[in-house]
Amino acid sequence: MNRNPVAASLSQRAYNDIRYRILSGQLPLGTSISRRTLAADLGMSVVPVSDALQRLSTEGLVESWPRVGTRVRIPTSQDVRGHYVVREALESQSARLFSQKSTPEERKEILELAETLDQLYRNGNADDESKEALFALHQLHQQFHMRIAECGGHPALCQAIENNHVLTFNWLYDTAARRTKLPERHHGRLAESLCQDDPEKADLAMREHVIYGRDDLLRTLSVLFR
Amino acid sequence: MNRNPVAASLSQRAYNDIRYRILSGQLPLGTSISRRTLAADLGMSVVPVSDALQRLSTEGLVESWPRVGTRVRIPTSQDVRGHYVVREALESQSARLFSQKSTPEERKEILELAETLDQLYRNGNADDESKEALFALHQLHQQFHMRIAECGGHPALCQAIENNHVLTFNWLYDTAARRTKLPERHHGRLAESLCQDDPEKADLAMREHVIYGRDDLLRTLSVLFR
DNA sequence: TGTTGTAAACTGGCATATCAGATTCAGATG
DNA sequence: CATCTGAATCTGATATGCCAGTTTACAACA
């Protein structure tokens, strides 16, 4: 059998496109999605669109009821709590592996990424509040965590973290609330903890980082939907 | 919109059926799957079968290449390692939450389940080596871990654990190798550790349990595919 | 004005047909 | 016997059309 990487199928393109539309705010939370309209818009039939929506549904970005409709899911605070429990588990494991397996070059890369992140979080609000800038910041934050996971050497863990859409929710609410406040050198200190050859310490530092993000997001939620 | 539970669709039935056929050995590892043949066999068209196979593909039980074919995936030892890294993360988190949130009744239930499991693992091989008996044992083991997760109070974590198919792989190789050896009171001692109101201890005990299972499975693998 | 009934419009689920690429195997060629 | 060849036969991907529920808009009526 041919194990070459599959060419980008229409289903895949639909998935990427719809996902981007949701994350970028083109499809705000709660928006109804019509398979037929969307298919016409994307220049394809409804089948690949349905495939994509099914994937997004299992991932929790979208919800669908038979013969009723599909819409962009509005995560509840209970959803957020649940997702963060999973994320705490996965990211702390990722931190353990990073502290055990990362090379000096990789550690340097992570430390630099952390510095960049902290700078952007410090200046971002003042300089540029556009959606594009916030989206870029969101992506960089995601990259920071994904690079840490990649350095752990287990693709399965990377995939599990990527499938956990807390950062996605984070971005959605960031967009709504324009919330980008963080303590000084927040990521910098985390990165330093990860580089100290102490898996338990790395685990704990990442747990604190994740829980800080969770509480921050829950505060935002309570303001948005009070 | 109507939020009632959806009726069992053909896609869902196809998913359950195919999954059961794989786990029960009706579709052995590596078997090619024809959408058309399977659809005729299940009395439906290829569309719901394709939906089901897509889900099973993202879950890793099945692999598919465009215009080539679909077959039951043979997990590699690298797959197994990766899955166990994720499982270690999720189950240790589950153990933490259990030690913090479980009620006395729930703890009693888990302790009893552990005793039953230990008995079956001790006697199972001697009494009954049928596939059905091994499958039942596998399901009970899975139930043990799922109940622990449920008592933690976070459905999202339960779902994440359920989506992690290490226990499934475990069953597949158990079937192939008839391996059911475990140390005396293996699950009993784990359950006792979970009930001591010490999240860190529970975390560690579960990590050891998971890693024991991983190494055991890797040994089996090295024998099977040496 | 407010309520109700009903039909049109819309939804996701599914069946069927077609397409292009991959595989396979009989038969020709050396 | 080994090797090449090409057509028949597979594969998954996709398009299209239909179906049976759900929602909605609007007219008829109180």
With cut-offs at 50, 70 and 90, classify the pLDDT of residue B172: confident
Mean pLDDT of A147-174: 89
Query: What region, left, alpha or beta, does residue B196 occupy, with left being phi > 0 and alpha being psi -120 to 50 degrees?
Result: alpha
B82 touches chain A (CB under 8 A): yes
* Domain ranges for chain B: 10-72, 77-224
| Spatial distance between the Cα atoms of B58 and B61, rounded to a whole number of angstroms | 8
Q: Is the CB of B43 under 7 A from strand D?
A: no
CB atoms within 10 A of CB B42: 16
- Residues B132-161 have a mean pLDDT of 92
Instruction: Say which CATH superfamily domain A77-224 falls into.
Output: GntR ligand-binding domain-like (1.20.120.530)
The C1' atom of D13 and the CA atom of B36 lie apart, in whole Å, by: 14
d(CA B128, CA B135): 11
Please give the Cα distance from A144 to A167 (Å, whole number): 11
Distance CA B122, CA B182 (A): 8
- Asked if the domains at B10-72 and B77-224 fall in one CATH topology, the answer is no
Measuring CA to CA, which residue among A95, A83, A209 is closest to residue A151? A95
pLDDT band at residue B178 under the 50/70/90 scheme: low
Quick one: how far is CA B156 from the chain centroid?
Answer: 16
**More reliable by pLDDT, B125 or B100:** B100
Identify the pLDDT of residue B25: 84
On the question of pLDDT at A6 being above 50, the answer is: no
Question: Does B9 contact A66 at a Cβ distance shorter than 8 Å?
Answer: yes
User: What does chain B come to in residues?
Assistant: 226
The CATH architecture assigned to A10-72 reads Orthogonal Bundle (1.10)
Residue of chain B with shortest Cα separation from A7: B66
C1' (C11) to CA (B193) span, angstroms? 52
Q: Is the CB of B52 under 7 A from strand C?
A: no
Residue at the smallest CA–C1' distance to nucleotide C15 = B45
Of A140-154, A166-180, B62-76, B180-194, least confident by mean pLDDT is A166-180
Residues 99-128 of A with CB under 7 A from strand D: none
> Taking CB atoms and an 8 Å cutoff, what residues of chain B touch A92?
89
pLDDT confidence of residue B222: 83
Minimal Cβ distance to A156: which of B54, B66, B86:
B86
What angle, rounded to 10 degrees, do the helices at A77-101 and B155-163 form? 50
H or E element in which residue A31 lies: none
pLDDT higher than threshold 80 for residue B184: yes
CA of A11 to C1' of C13 (A): 18
Residue B5 confidence (pLDDT) above 60: no
How many Cα neighbours within 13 Å face the side chain of A191? Answer: 24
Integer distance in angstroms from CA A50 to C1' D16?
15
**Closest chain A residue by Cα to residue B204:** A200
Residue of B nearest to A88 (CA): B93
Query: What is the average per-residue pLDDT within B8-29?
Result: 92
DSSP state of A197: S
Yes or no, beta carbons of A90 and B86 under 8 Å apart: yes
- With an 8 Å Cβ cutoff, are B66 and A157 in contact? no
State whether A1 and B69 contact (CB < 8 Å).
yes
B85 interfacial to chain A (CB closer than 8 Å): yes
The residues in A 97-136 lying below 8 A from B, measured between CB atoms, are 97
Nearest chain A residue to B60, by CA: A156
Residue listed under structure tokens 């050896």 = B181
pLDDT band of residue A5 (cuts 50, 70, 90) is: very low
Position B180 scores a pLDDT of: 59
pLDDT in tens, A70-91: 999 998 889 889 999 999 999 9
Judged by DSSP in three states, A24 sits in: coil
Q: State ipTM.
A: 0.85
Separation in Å: C27 C1' and B35 CA: 31
Q: Is the CB of B33 under 7 A from strand D?
A: yes
